[in-house]
Amino acid sequence: MDAKLREFVRERAGLRCEFCRLPQAFSELRFHIEHVIPRQHRGSDEADNLALACPACNLHKGTNLTGIEPDTGQVVALFNPRADRWEGHFALEGLRVVGRTPKGRTTAWLLDMNDEARLRVRAILQSIGELE
């Protein structure tokens, strides 16, 4: 993957994690270029299979394509930022990302989008009027 493609992915995402929506500017760690469908599952390095992900989301997602929906116990596909609209599957309620759909609930739970560190960052963003 070349530098031009990496920069395209970062700019397309607006320098925000495409899963939890936290901005790169509030992380001490550089965000990752995530394979939506991992290479292990024959995912490509093409732009339509890449997303910008904060380290926490990327490490929690790993090579998972599905997860267990926390309310029903059913196997559900994870949110795909190239195919799904964030607003269709998630909502921000206060400082918490809440799943609106089985896919949203499963992804928010599996990626631990409401861990203490991310809640603290969202509180800072809210205090300066930058919480999306």
Digit-by-digit pLDDT tens for the chain (132 residues) are 899 999 999 999 999 999 999 999 888 889 999 999 999 999 999 999 999 999 999 999 999 999 999 999 999 999 999 999 999 999 999 999 999 999 999 999 999 999 999 999 999 999 998 887
Is the pTM for the entire model greater than 0.85?
yes
Neighbouring-strand partners of residue 118: none
> What integer pLDDT is reported at residue 132 of this predicted model?
76
**Distances from the Cα of 19 to the Cαs of 2, 4, 39, 62, in angstroms?**
23, 22, 19, 13
